[in-house]
Amino acid sequence: MTALQARVRGVHQRLATAAAQAGRDPKDLTLIAVSKTQPAEAVATLAALGQRDFGENYLQEALDKQAALSALALQWHFIGALQSNKTRPVSEHFSWVHTIDRAKLAERLSAQRPKALGPLAVCVQVKLDPEPGKAGVAPDALAPLLDTIERLPGLRLAGLMTLPAPREGFEAQRASLARLTALAKALPETARVLSMGMSDDLEAAVAAGATHLRLGTALFGPRQPAGASP
């Protein structure tokens, strides 16, 4: 078994155990492999093991990988910070965007979505903790943004996403993430995706109700240093 295979197996076991402990069906959990800074070969290897959903943060890096891997039927999720002058390639080349936090981004992504691809699935990023400089909409500003998205023909509102301030320990992590689960109750039945949980808090995320786990280092190992060529 390669190191990558061992890590993949370990992640699947962690997810299965977490689901069992939370009394949840593991089939309700979608694993998004976060492949930022990882080379296309690592994505291809993971795809050969059955992984289909991949998450990327950096647009140009993602487009290069998508071009290199276009023969594979992969589903790409944009999970990075998005500038409004970069929405077109995201709308044209991704199936999902998890980081919508303002109406302008939503409006541009909708207008630029090619009709043939069907609506772009989007999650609204919620900022649960008051961290300066952090992306995300404050909980009290969520409702008008959801209303805007629901009116946009090029988008399909899928649910909510968060990237909370790091916390130590299962219970503190679970309680933190459960705030997103509570907010999601106000969304329609068709928009109940909860994109939360990373390598360090996946058990807490499953316990809190996550549906889409975004895991990088647990699957791929340590990331390449920023700026290193893939």
Ligand X SMILES: *Cc1c(COP(=O)(O)O)cnc(C)c1O
Positions that interact with ligand X (CB under 6 A): 34, 36, 57, 79, 163, 198-200, 214-218
Question: Looking at beta carbons only, is 34 or 122 nearer to ligand X?
Answer: 34
Question: Looking at beta carbons only, is 111 or 135 nearer to ligand X?
Answer: 135
Question: Looking at beta carbons only, is 86 or 111 nearer to ligand X?
Answer: 86
The minimum distance between CB 219 and ligand X, in angstroms, equals: 8
Rounded alpha-carbon distances, angstroms, from residue 91 to 65, 84, 157:
16, 11, 14
Expressed in angstroms, the distance from the first to the final Cα of the chain is 24
The minimum distance between CB 153 and ligand X, in angstroms, equals: 27
Phi-psi region of 84 (alpha: psi -120 to 50; beta: other; left: phi over 0): alpha
d(CA 151, CA 14): 39
Query: Side-chain half-sphere of 128: how many Cα atoms within 13 Å?
Result: 20
d(CA 142, CA 126): 8
The minimum distance between CB 57 and ligand X, in angstroms, equals: 5
The minimum distance between CB 54 and ligand X, in angstroms, equals: 12
d(CA 104, CA 60): 21
Question: Looking at beta carbons only, is 143 or 165 nearer to ligand X?
Answer: 165
Question: Looking at beta carbons only, is 32 or 74 nearer to ligand X?
Answer: 32
Question: Looking at beta carbons only, is 82 or 207 nearer to ligand X?
Answer: 82
What residue type is 153 in one-letter code? P
Closest-approach residue to ligand X (CB): 216
The minimum distance between CB 68 and ligand X, in angstroms, equals: 20
d(CA 172, CA 182): 16
The minimum distance between CB 56 and ligand X, in angstroms, equals: 9
